[in-house]
Structure 1
């Protein structure tokens, strides 16, 4: 992925409102560009007044194609009356990324390993007595609840235990091959786990539960795909990681 930074210099602070309005109009072209991943305009906090526009592109070739197009030329034309470019920087993303300690991970917020083990231990007790789900998990490993707890703990920002001990994303996907999970079973799994989260006292705040519910939809629909008659190739990607407001990236 290519990251582009364009600096803009304004004649004076009186130009700020007009420049930002012009930017709102100009970035409509980026919103329509299939090569653009996202963008953000940042305002300088000091003097002289200036701005930085950060654009993430799918590739250097995609970036070049956009700027050479009619839409790219119109983008700069729309900003010319208010500011002039004052520098350009191109970078490439690397896998080295992380977070600071000011916000707890979902794993920490939920209560860490004990919370996830409590959740799945009780959940699979309920599964054993569920007419719709019990056949899916007949003959499961006695430690199955602990394995799934390690999975979700890692997905929610905890230690990479599932990757280290059980094989990571590829292994989890492989466990669903040929199982023929039905939509009714998928929905029952989601409903039962949500009820169990209430029963064992997982955090009930809207922010956590929104991510939790979002993950259950994503995870169970992936399980449905891999358990079906025409599963895709097993994933070679790292474990998916979820965070507050952040889900795995779109992969077209």
Structure 2
């Protein structure tokens, strides 16, 4: 069976998805607040590399940019923000269609992954970035969901 990474079109398919998602969140009046402080010019490439690794591809993110601890720290210390999370997930679901990844079962697997990553993995440390442990591995997601580390 092909990995989710392969079914999504590999690195190029996930780059299209990252670009579509980024465009949608910047246009959203609530989610765009997360980017109001600015963001890296290579945000789309970094996000795509993260998804490549998380969805069964090569270690595109950790080999070049860092580990899960660094990613989680970027999303920590901001307090709870359920409405922003809901809207980010909605933007992702629309971005799947924009990127041509709306066919089942791929759409559901990717949507489930993003919802989990947004509401669980990236939302674990509301109070402080200093609560994030060092050396977290990037979680891997497959057709069956979160894989045991």
Given the two structures, how large is their TM-score scaled by the length of structure 1? 0.54
Match of 1:195 in 2: 94
Given the two structures, how large is their TM-score scaled by the length of structure 2? 0.88
1:223 and 1:123 map into 2 onto residues whose CA distance is 17
Match of 1:131 in 2: 29
C-alpha RMSD of the superposition: 1.9
Is structure 2 residue 138 aligned with structure 1 residue 239? yes
Is structure 2 residue 110 aligned with structure 1 residue 212? yes
1:129 and 1:160 map into 2 onto residues whose CA distance is 30
Q: Please list every run of 5 or more consecutive structure 1 residues that lacks an aligned counterpart in the other structure.
A: 1-102
> 3-state DSSP class of the match of 2:141?
coil
CA contact (8 A) 2:113 2:145 kept: no
CA shift in 2, pair 1:246/1:128, >3 Å: closer
Instruction: Give structure 1 regions of 4+ aligned residues with deviation exceeding 4 angstroms.
Output: none
Greater RCO structure (CA 8 Å; 6+ sep): 2
CA shift in 2, pair 1:167/1:129, >3 Å: same
Shift of 1:237: 3.3
Paired residue for 2:49, among 141, 146, 150?
A: 150
Higher helix proportion (structure 1 or 2): 2
Counting only pairs closer than 5 Å after superposition, residues 1-252 of structure 1 correspond to structure 2 as 103-138=1-36, 139-180=38-79, 182-206=81-105, 208-221=106-119, 222-226=121-125, 228-229=126-127, 232-234=131-133, 236-249=135-148
> 3-state DSSP class of the match of 1:220?
helix
CA contact (8 A) 2:67 2:135 kept: no
1:203 and 1:189 map into 2 onto residues whose CA distance is 17
Q: Pick which of 170-179 and 108-117 moved more.
A: 170-179
1:172 and 1:185 map into 2 onto residues whose CA distance is 18
Q: Please list every run of 5 or more consecutive structure 2 residues that lacks an aligned counterpart in the other structure.
A: none
1:225 and 1:196 map into 2 onto residues whose CA distance is 25
Shift of 1:165: 0.8
CA contact (8 A) 1:154 1:161 kept: yes
Equivalent residue pairs, number: 146
Higher strand proportion (structure 1 or 2): 1
1:108 and 1:215 map into 2 onto residues whose CA distance is 15
Shift of 1:145: 1.2
Q: Max radius of gyration: which structure? A: 1
